């Protein structure tokens, strides 16, 4: 089965937050994406609320519950106490833990699983006790994945930023793709599911899907939102679904 598509709404929220106005509506754009066939929605509610706001989360949860019950809600964030409380109040289907400093403009690296196991293991235990699927943001490196598995997490999400960043360098893109495929194989061998995200596009998704045919999910925000300015949200979701292999 091809990788499922989760639409990250942070870029939509960032555009809305430029004005003290309710548009573009994060919930409305999420509805269009799901109606067009997206398998889920992703948000990353950072502490300063520069992207998705806490107030968006119950609206998105209700949207999925009321109109798209087969879709999934994925919340990303750093596992401090405030985030874990927010997750438990919001009841997502999946929680993706990322090692972001609050000052970072976007996620730009995966966890050092061995060095940060003391942070991850109790957070994963708490989330698993709450019934959530847990995914950990990971660099495309097989080293340390055993430590990721030891936390009790269900999946990793491969950080594909370096792959997306070499869009104008085919040789480097091929090298990054090999690293992603090797890390994905190592994760699968450990019994971890594999997601992927960051700077994925219609152009680079097919090669990733071919290199990692067992990819469970891709979470895409910036490139998808940029394309939506040209093709509309529904048309863009259709294009990304096709690029995933649907």
Of 78, 82, 191, 72, nearest to 137 by C-alpha is 78
Of 71, 7, 59, 1, nearest to 33 by C-alpha is 7
Of 171, 173, 168, 182, nearest to 138 by C-alpha is 182
Please return the burial class of 62, using the count of CB atoms within 10 Å of its CB with bins 0-12, 13-18 and 19+.
exposed
- What pLDDT does residue 104 have? 57
What distance in Å separates the CA atoms of residue 9 and residue 26, rounded to the nearest whole number?
Answer: 7
Give the β-pairing of 155-159 and 4-8: unpaired
What distance in Å separates the CA atoms of residue 42 and residue 128, rounded to the nearest whole number?
Answer: 19
Joined together, the tokens standing for residue 62 give: 């209700």
Q: Beta-strand (E) ranges in 163-208? A: 193-197
- What pLDDT does residue 100 have? 77
The set of catalytic residues is 44, 76, 198
Q: At what angle do helices 26-35 and 56-67 cross, to 10 degrees?
A: 30
Joined together, the tokens standing for residue 86 give: 């927010």
The domains located in the chain, with CATH, are: 4-244 (3.20.20.70)
Of 25, 2, 21, 22, nearest to 12 by C-alpha is 25
- What pLDDT does residue 109 have? 82
How would you write the pLDDT of the chain (246 residues) with one tens digit per residue?
999 999 999 999 999 999 999 999 999 999 999 999 999 999 999 999 999 999 999 999 999 999 999 999 999 999 999 999 999 999 999 999 999 766 655 667 889 999 999 999 999 999 999 999 999 999 999 989 999 999 999 999 999 999 999 988 999 999 999 999 999 999 999 999 999 999 999 999 999 999 999 999 999 999 999 999 999 999 999 999 999 999
Tell me which DSSP letter residue 3 carries.
P
What distance in Å separates the CA atoms of residue 37 and residue 117, rounded to the nearest whole number?
Answer: 37
pTM of the entire structure?
Answer: 0.95
């Amino acid at each position: 089965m091809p990788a499922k598509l989760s639409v990250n709404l942070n870029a939509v929220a960032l555009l809305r937050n430029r004005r003290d106005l309710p548009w573009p509506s994060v919930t409305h754009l999420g509805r269009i994406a799901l109606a067009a066939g997206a398998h889920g929605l992703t948000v990353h509610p950072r502490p300063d609320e520069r992207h998705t706001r806490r107030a968006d989360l119950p609206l998105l949860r209700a949207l999925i519950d009321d109109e798209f019950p087969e879709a999934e809600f994925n919340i990303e964030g750093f596992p401090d106490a405030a985030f874990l409380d927010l997750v438990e109040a919001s009841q997502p289907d999946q929680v993706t833990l990322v090692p972001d400093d609050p000052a970072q403009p976007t996620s730009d690296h995966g966890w050092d699983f061995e060095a940060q196991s003391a942070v991850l293991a109790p957070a994963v235990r708490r989330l698993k006790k709450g019934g959530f699927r847990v995914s950990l943001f990971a660099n495309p490196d097989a080293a340390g994945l055993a430590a990721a598995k030891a936390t009790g997490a269900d999946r990793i999400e491969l950080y594909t930023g370096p792959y997306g960043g070499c869009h104008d360098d085919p040789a480097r893109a091929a090298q990054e793709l090999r690293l992603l495929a090797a890390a994905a194989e190592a994760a699968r061998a450990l019994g971890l599911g594999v997601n992927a995200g960051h700077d994925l596009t219609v152009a680079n998704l097919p090669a990733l899907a071919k290199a990692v045919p067992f990819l469970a999910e891709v979470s895409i925000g910036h490139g998808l939102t940029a394309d939506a300015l040209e093709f509309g949200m529904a048309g863009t979701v259709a294009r990304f679904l096709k690029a995933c292999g649907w």
